[in-house]
Structure 1
């Protein structure tokens, strides 16, 4: 199988697995809370659970906490290589790991959509993608060089702006060369990609 296709399929599976994990944890947490509060109705042996929503910040925090507890993530964090690409959701991951402070999160984004308008974070104030090896930040090389030594157990964390019904991720691109995704696909000659 083509290495790029295999990598993309594994990435989609990993994203889907994380979303399922997070969904299961939400249901488990809500069920435990509702049960402890005596708010679960039983009808014909079926448990009824209330629907709830999260703020964007709360959802990003939940995604971050779910992802950093995944075994694949933990393995790469402690015994491998990882790149955390800039992004608003990934800023919560970097904060949870103690790599940036809460005040620095706005600088860990390439751009945002504000008031319905896509905006780009100025390159001179924006943080770079974070490269980690065995949990230590590596600043001596660019992420494009760092990824060339990836193997199959290493992790590249890239956020998405949307998912379609089949689980395909969509990313907004302001860079004519494809931004992080374009660079990632061009550099996918690494044995691990």
Structure 2
């Protein structure tokens, strides 16, 4: 059986979050280890799914934000600090303080701004020290910590490697909005809508189109194929995601 669905950006984020927590390594870490859910609007959905909480203003779960056609910093008055989850329980620990304690089996979840067809993801940073990924990447690589990047297909670019090289061969002179750099997240496990569908259901999924208008900007159109019962199960769950509220700057 083959079925077609279109997801808005916020519906995609909810699906990706469900797919992220469905990964066996995340389930294992949720039970036995530590998960740090770094900032990001998609990561706000991940935190909600992991902890059963509601983050009312998801723009408060990120520092950098793309809005009004430019790059900026979140001005949300309802800031939510990144969660440190130890054996399924959220702890009142700043993530940077816990960072040196990370060990094999723990997971670091970081949002991204670009992904390409090879699965390489990158994140924009305006902080001169490299922001969140600049602080975490050394420990992640040195200790074999799994880095997971939940990211929508709306953020697909032609070639992340070439984009990084293009950005680093000279400095920016002007920008409409904040100036940023671009840091690749080599070795990260990228979770897109396709990954989520293939994790949660026994289906094969493909993105066949993207875009829309009147609230469907950033939408993706997907086709999934598999046994009838699996496709029907996926469609039933996707219907429950329809109408996920847009993320609005408050």
Asked if these proteins are the same fold (TM beyond 0.5), I'd say yes
Aligned length: 145
Given that 1:83 and 1:131 are in contact with CA atoms closer than 8 Å, whether structure 2 keeps it comes out as yes
Query: More helix per residue: 1 or 2?
Result: 1
Counterpart-to-counterpart distance in 1, 2:30 and 2:72: 31
Counterpart-to-counterpart distance in 2, 1:59 and 1:99: 18
Counterpart-to-counterpart distance in 2, 1:170 and 1:189: 16
> Residue by residue, what CA displacement relative to the aligned partner does 1:35-70 show, whole Å, maximum 9, x if unpaired?
xxxxxxxxxxxxxx3543210001000000111111
> Residue by residue, what CA displacement relative to the aligned partner does 1:118-157 show, whole Å, maximum 9, x if unpaired?
12114875322211111112224x3123122222211101
Given that 2:57 and 2:76 are in contact with CA atoms closer than 8 Å, whether structure 1 keeps it comes out as no
Q: Paired residue for 2:24?
A: 71
Counterpart-to-counterpart distance in 1, 2:33 and 2:83: 14
Query: More strand per residue: 1 or 2?
Result: 2
Given that 1:148 and 1:189 are in contact with CA atoms closer than 8 Å, whether structure 2 keeps it comes out as no
Q: Paired residue for 2:40?
A: 87
Q: Paired residue for 1:185?
A: 137
Structure 2: stretches of 5+ with no match in the other structure: 146-250
Change (3 A) 1:95 1:189: closer
Given that 2:59 and 2:76 are in contact with CA atoms closer than 8 Å, whether structure 1 keeps it comes out as no
Q: SS at the partner of 1:144?
A: helix
| The one of 121, 137, 141 aligned to 2:74 | 121
Q: Paired residue for 1:108?
A: 61
TM-score, normalising length: structure 2:
0.52
Q: SS at the partner of 1:132?
A: strand
How far did residue 176 of structure 1 move?
1.5
Given that 1:154 and 1:192 are in contact with CA atoms closer than 8 Å, whether structure 2 keeps it comes out as no
Alpha-carbon RMSD: 2.2
Given that 1:148 and 1:190 are in contact with CA atoms closer than 8 Å, whether structure 2 keeps it comes out as no
Structure 1: stretches of 5+ with no match in the other structure: 1-30, 32-48
Counterpart-to-counterpart distance in 2, 1:126 and 1:181: 19
Task: Please list, as runs of the form range in 1=range in 2, the aligned pairs for 1:8-157 lying within 5 A after superposition.
Answer: 31=1, 49-98=2-51, 100-122=53-75, 125-140=78-93, 142-157=94-109
Using CA pairs below 8 Å that are at least 6 residues apart, which structure has the higher relative contact order? Answer: 2
How far did residue 76 of structure 1 move?
0.6
TM-score, normalising length: structure 1:
0.66
How far did residue 104 of structure 1 move?
3.5
